Amino acid sequence: MAKIKIAEKIIRTVVCLGYADAKPDEELYHQAFAVGKALATAGYMVANGGGPGVMRATTEGAKEAGGRVVGVTFYPKDVENFEGRDEHNPIDEEIKTKNYLERTLKLLDVGQAYLIFKGGTGTISEFGMAWGLARLYFGHHKPLILYGKFWEKIMAAFMSNMRMRPEEFQVYRVVDSPEEVIVSLELFELMLRHEKHKSSPAEKPFEI
């Protein structure tokens, strides 16, 4: 596969989403760390919510490889069940937002691809919005990478039980290793460049 210089790539920043309560001794945390490291090694910038768990793990992995990390945060005053900013997450740049919805939208805005690990309702909401936007902007969308084979059952359940369009299953890939993450990003890059070449100059780029 032909290598494209990172400065010339469509996908430069990868937003990592996942379980905020993952602990450093858990397999999920180790997986996120390894993926963060692989992303930085391959020249990508990592973005996350600046919190604990998977967010902190991807930051630590990226930093070990000399990468840079953007954290999109907000500091809740009246939300008891939100983790907020983790002071032990060593992000390089912080983008502060006013509320949870603004934070979610900004996270979806700062990256050109989304990497989604196992998580709870917060991760599910982020995944749903990212997937919906990818379908809406299909052809010049931001692709999704779903980390873990368990996603195959989830996506199969959507296909079997919901009213889905064919393109909704063309905007993501399920992977199970850091190496597969990088390969998937390279494949998505080639696909997006091909679609961009075919697009009319009048078409607008992806915007939220």
How many domains does one find in the chain?
A: 1
Q: Is residue 90 part of a domain?
A: yes
For residues 175 and 148, give the distance between their C-alpha atoms in angstroms, rounded to a whole number: 6
Return the bridge partners of 147, or none: 175
Does the reported pTM lie above 0.85? Answer: yes
pLDDT, tens digit, 9 for 90 and up, residues 163-183: 999 999 999 999 999 999 999
pLDDT for 107 equals 96
Q: Is there a domain that residue 155 lies in?
A: yes
Could you list the residue range(s) of the whole structural domain that residue 101 is in?
Answer: 11-198
The arithmetic mean of pLDDT across residues 40-45, rounded, is 98
CATH number of the CATH domain containing 32: 3.40.50.450
Q: What is the pLDDT of residues 57-88, one digit of tens each?
A: 999 999 999 999 999 998 888 766 667 788 99
Residue 2 predicted with pLDDT over 80? no
- Tell me how far CA of residue 77 lies from CA of 99, 120, 135, in angstroms: 10, 22, 34
Which whole number is the average pLDDT over 114-126? 97
Q: Tell me whether residue 208 is in a domain.
A: no
Residue 134, Cα to own-chain centre: how many angstroms?
12
Task: State how far Cα 124 lies from the chain centre.
Answer: 12
